[in-house]
Amino acid sequence: MKTFMIERYGDQAAVHAGEMPDPRVGPDDVLVRIHAASVNPLDLRLRDGAFKAFLPYRLPLVLGNDLAGVVVRTGAAVTRFAVGDEVYARPDKNRIGTFAELIAVHQNDVAVKPANLTMTEAASLPLVALTAWQALVERAQVRPGQKVLIHAGAGGLGTIAVQLAEQLGAHVAATASTAKVELVKELGADVVVDYKRQDFETVLKDYDVVLDTLGGETLEKSLRVLKPGGRVVSVAGPPDAAFARELGLNAVLRLVMSALSFRTRRRAKHRRVTYSFLFMKASGDQLRELTPLIEAGKIRPVVDRVFPFDQTREALEYVEKGRAKAGKVVVTMT
């Protein structure tokens, strides 16, 4: 099958087209012919080798972390799906590789594609929708009336998180550039801070939850807009020991993770708030929870640009250079 892969960690030059054997299909797997896959910042970090200490992939590695497509074969133990089903998924972190013609995915990580979406639209959702769900519902347990701040509200994750937070009944604030303020308001944000003109730290206060998608100085400032008892969930900040335990890492790596986040956790404790790092997990069940919201139009995908499969490298470069105006970049296979 045709793929886009890396044979060594590195920059954009490490990504190339290549042939790989068709996937082996286990008893609990569905084999999906991929129609579309989206590009995520995670793909760039995996390409660079940023996670190789705790996600030791065997090279060559096919990149790509979410998909929409059609089931073409099922394993002997598969009960949820049949050949011909249109599905979408974020494969498990150990079984990525959606920049390809085919992929074998465990049935527990797959869901039937929302009926109202095209393959391109559906492919834009799994990773960011699951991240938003796990941050806001699972980790922060957002309740109606709480105040939630979403950073980069026009980004791939931000566009979905803003909509989900609104559906959870929260008062939603988001940061965005001047050109994207109106879009983020249309998605459901009650307050949009134009970061080119204002510092969110001086505008917002007493928030219950912050979803940090940027890390660095933004994360440090986010601690200061939370009220006591609030929490920041970060997908871009330093990993913590809890994350290391989730991955089953050894004691040395757990200590390293704890040290990386020590300064942030200490500052959070000083302000009587909590910090946690989130590395999202595959979950077909959570996608099924999200699907009714998507089919009802309560959560809609935002697609910035679509590239054909043979321009996957260009799609990665487009995302890496920050050219996307809003939402996700998608690669179509067919």
**Eight-state DSSP code of residue 18:** E
One digit per residue, the tens of pLDDT, for the chain of length 334 reads 999 999 999 999 999 999 999 999 999 999 999 999 999 999 999 999 988 887 889 999 999 999 999 999 999 999 999 999 999 999 999 999 999 999 999 999 999 999 999 999 999 999 999 999 999 999 999 999 999 999 999 999 999 999 999 999 999 999 999 999 999 999 999 999 999 999 999 999 999 999 999 999 999 999 999 999 999 999 999 998 888 888 787 888 888 888 889 999 999 999 999 999 999 999 999 999 999 999 999 999 999 999 999 999 999 999 999 988 899 999 999 7
Q: Which bin fits 98, alpha (ψ -120 to 50), beta or left (φ > 0)?
A: alpha
CA dist 292 and 127 (Å) reads: 17
At 164, which amino acid appears? Answer: L
Q: Strand, helix or coil at 72?
A: strand
pTM over 0.85: yes
CA dist 37 and 224 (Å) reads: 37
Domain annotation for the chain: domains and CATH numbers: 2-125+301-332 (3.90.180.10), 127-277 (3.40.50.720)
CA dist 330 and 121 (Å) reads: 8
CA dist 294 and 224 (Å) reads: 34
Q: Where are the alpha helices (DSSP H) in 235-278?
A: 241-247, 251-260, 262-270
Strand 110-112 to 61-62 pairing: unpaired
